[in-house]
Structure 1
Amino acid sequence: MVRKEAVGLTLLRVFLGLTFFIHGFSKFQGGIANTVDFFDSLGIFGFAAYLVALIELFGGIAMVLGLGTRVFAGLFAIIMAVATLKVKLAVGFLGNGQMAGYELELALFVISIYLALKNKSYWALENVLFRSNIS
């Protein structure tokens, strides 16, 4: 693989990981009870807020390190699909002046799908631990 592509893939993976880590951290920092209430208001079981926050938090760290890239990218894609469909789709791509649109969710969804489908993650800890040869 060309070095430029490896750099690009690594930047996408690290950006995605940091973004989800920060979102997961903020759910706990802002009081996870608020997120539970928000999920309930959407008709989603409140306990799912804990699951989503933990996936974002620990999955974000794992993604930055390059551990379980494909698995966590798939989970992130599911989270973004639900967030888009349940919350953001009604306000449109750019939003409605009171709430941001789904442009960020869509971008994170597409990056997640790309990384979930990618066979290898470059400059990743999983390559060292599992002795992957990257070509």
Structure 2
Amino acid sequence: MDKLGISTLLLRLVLGISFFIHGLVKFKDGIANIVGWFDSIGIFGFFAYAVATLELVGGIALILGIGTRVFSALFIVLMIGAIVKVKFAIGFLGTPEMAGYELDLAFLVIALFLAINGSKFLSIDEVLFK
């Protein structure tokens, strides 16, 4: 067994599950709340749908190993936006009211690794494009 392949699979699964859950919660708890929050911080509210959909669909895609590099690149853009627009001002660890950008940075680095290296072990892409 290839250690790098297994390690990369673990990163892909953790990132995929994490984004899937974040997207699911946005829809489950009421996307209208997220739309309103986006509007309140100066981002067009309709982007809430795009973000939640990317998290949901992209998370599933990473779990299955479909388009890992593409979805990882999109997650990089998403995390840079979250850090710059929302989290950077409150700091690395955040405040009692809001988390800092430590998790966003970790997600960004994992996504960057996957965008550069891909993840073929136990992926649908490997089966389809071998």
Partner of 1:114: 113
Partner of 1:46: 45
Partner of 2:68: 69
Q: Distance in 1 between matches of 2:12 and 2:119?
A: 11
Tell me if the contact between 2:12 and 2:62 (Cα under 8 Å) persists in the aligned partners.
Answer: yes
Over aligned residues, Cα RMSD in angstroms? Answer: 1.1
Q: 1:111/1:48 Cα in 2 relative to 1: closer, same or farther (>3 Å)? A: same
How many Å apart are 1:109 and its aligned residue?
0.4
With 118-127 and 96-105 compared, the bigger mean Cα shift is at: 118-127
Within a 5 Å distance, the mapping from 1:70-89 to structure 2 comes to 70-89=69-88
- Tell whether 2:2 aligns with 1:8: no
How many Å apart are 1:54 and its aligned residue?
0.6
Query: Which stretches of structure 1, 4 residues or more, deviate above 3 A after TM superposition?
Result: none
- Tell whether 2:85 aligns with 1:99: no
- Tell whether 2:26 aligns with 1:27: yes
Q: TM-score, normalised by structure 2?
A: 0.95
Q: Distance in 2 between matches of 1:48 and 1:19?
A: 20
In structure 1, list runs of 5 or more residues that go unmatched.
none
Tell me if the contact between 2:76 and 2:108 (Cα under 8 Å) persists in the aligned partners.
Answer: yes
**Deviation string, structure 1 residues 103-123 (Cα, Å, up to 9, x no partner):** 000000000011011155322
Higher RCO structure, 1 or 2 (CA under 8 Å, sep 6+): 2
How many Å apart are 1:98 and its aligned residue?
2.2
In structure 2, list runs of 5 or more residues that go unmatched.
none
Q: TM-score, normalised by structure 1?
A: 0.92
Tell me if the contact between 2:79 and 2:107 (Cα under 8 Å) persists in the aligned partners.
Answer: yes
How many Å apart are 1:8 and its aligned residue?
0.5
How many Å apart are 1:44 and its aligned residue?
0.9
Partner of 1:130: 129
Q: How many residues align?
A: 130
Letter matched to residue 35 of structure 1: I
How many Å apart are 1:7 and its aligned residue?
0.8
